[in-house]
Copies of this chain bind each other. A is one copy, B any other.
């Protein structure tokens, strides 16, 4: 246990370990990487020397010599949105079971940062990259792929078919949300907020539209907004409640939980009852969705699974020489809670404090 301080400055190398253990360099490497290829005696000598010197393998040297690394890079859009947190966790859990470490980079919704992190992982010759791209040019994807880097897109793929991707069926999510409101008897629906340029927003809106069309006797009004934050929801709610009673929507769906939260609070502040007067449903199942005044109904994308599946696709691409690119589209799930069901939708907290994700 007596690791010694960096004596002489230089950290101990495998060569030092070999010397101390009285074996060759190659044997040390074998002992450390494929112990079964080495006699018990050598193994033990090596391990003892490693311990005594406090040897730490140099992963730069390793990946240079081996020509590859075992870490996987994940470039995230926005660490502040719990969907991405879930994706990161799912990826991390899955990567870990196969002995890969997951390093994160947060582009913070900034295109230049996003590209720069892609390059960093590219330069580091990581085993592969998981990438949740902004709704923008996917040139970075081409760039790193040209260098032979493996990459899996998550959450958005801009229609690309030439690499693996894990997506969420946004249209269906919007459909479910609207359908849910319709089934509760709501007829004057409002799709509240979101910039139409966002692929996800547009798809969700399309889905909602489809549900309303199918129903026949209902309407869908659309009010868009520049961003997806809660104050946009407040503004929209303020606007619609100022109308004559027969033009106030009785069901509001929003492409983000944040907007929905704003809507709910503003409605309540203006004396409307949720869901009796207006039912509200959000999207994303953000972790705060149960911290609002009344727990929010929402559409959940299983971020954890998205991350895990993305890792699986990546691993197949790494290990399977006959790998073929696949696009996985996961179905989101409806999670009705109080904001559409009323008190009966009150979730029962589980022992670990997380909420059951089943509808």
Give 14 A-B contacts (CB < 8 Å), ordered by A residue. Answer: A3-B143, A59-B123, A59-B125, A60-B125, A71-B120, A79-B88, A79-B89, A80-B85, A89-B106, A101-B116, A103-B104, A227-B353, A265-B293, A292-B292
Tell me whether A69 and B80 are in contact in the complex, defined as CB-CB below 8 angstroms, given that A101-B117, A293-B293 are known contacts.
no
Asked whether any CB of chain B lies closer than 8 Å to the CB of A27, the reply is no
Interface centre among A60, A143, A147, A292 (most CB of B within 10 A): A60
Tell me whether A147 and B56 are in contact in the complex, defined as CB-CB below 8 angstroms, given that A85-B80, A292-B292, A353-B227 are known contacts.
yes
Asked whether any CB of chain B lies closer than 8 Å to the CB of A317, the reply is no
Tell me whether A120 and B101 are in contact in the complex, defined as CB-CB below 8 angstroms, given that A79-B79, A146-B3, A230-B291 are known contacts.
yes
CB pair A353 B5 closer than 8 Å: no
Asked whether any CB of chain B lies closer than 8 Å to the CB of A212, the reply is no
CB pair B116 A92 closer than 8 Å: no
Asked whether any CB of chain B lies closer than 8 Å to the CB of A54, the reply is yes
Tell me whether A261 and B79 are in contact in the complex, defined as CB-CB below 8 angstroms, given that A61-B64, A146-B3 are known contacts.
no
Q: Report the bound CA distance from A147 to B54 in whole Å.
A: 8
Total residues of chain A contacting the partner, CB 8 A: 63
Asked whether any CB of chain B lies closer than 8 Å to the CB of A108, the reply is yes
Q: Which of A107-147 contact B (CB under 8 A)?
A: 108, 113, 116-117, 119-120, 122-125, 143, 146-147
* In the complex, chain B residues whose CB is within 8 Å of the CB of A291: 230, 258, 261-262, 265, 288, 291-292
Q: Report the bound CA distance from A113 to B102 in whole Å.
A: 11
CB pair B125 A58 closer than 8 Å: yes
Asked whether any CB of chain B lies closer than 8 Å to the CB of A245, the reply is no
Q: Report the bound CA distance from A297 to B288 in whole Å.
A: 17
Q: Report the bound CA distance from A6 to B148 in whole Å.
A: 6
Asked whether any CB of chain B lies closer than 8 Å to the CB of A290, the reply is yes
Q: Report the bound CA distance from A58 to B68 in whole Å.
A: 11
Contact with B along A233-263 (1 / 0, CB 8 A): 0000000000000000000000000100110
Asked whether any CB of chain B lies closer than 8 Å to the CB of A206, the reply is no
* In the complex, chain B residues whose CB is within 8 Å of the CB of A120: 59, 71, 101, 103
Q: Report the bound CA distance from A59 to B106 in whole Å.
A: 20
Contact with B along A290-332 (1 / 0, CB 8 A): 1111100000000000000000000000000000000000000
The quantity of this chain's copies bound in the complex is 2
A79 contact from B85, B103, B290, Cβ within 8 A? B85
Nearest-neighbor residue (CB-CB) of A80 within chain B:
B85
Q: Report the bound CA distance from A82 to B80 in whole Å.
A: 7
Q: Report the bound CA distance from A174 to B64 in whole Å.
A: 51
* In the complex, chain B residues whose CB is within 8 Å of the CB of A125: 58-60
Contact with B along A59-99 (1 / 0, CB 8 A): 11101100001010000000110100100110010001000
Asked whether any CB of chain B lies closer than 8 Å to the CB of A229, the reply is yes
Q: Report the bound CA distance from A120 to B106 in whole Å.
A: 19
* In the complex, chain B residues whose CB is within 8 Å of the CB of A19: none
CB pair B353 A229 closer than 8 Å: yes
Q: Report the bound CA distance from A231 to B238 in whole Å.
A: 30
Nearest-Cβ distance from residue A342 to partner chain B, whole angstroms: 13
Nearest-Cβ distance from residue A278 to partner chain B, whole angstroms: 16
CB pair A148 B11 closer than 8 Å: yes
CB pair A104 B101 closer than 8 Å: no
* In the complex, chain B residues whose CB is within 8 Å of the CB of A103: 103-105, 120
CB pair B11 A147 closer than 8 Å: yes
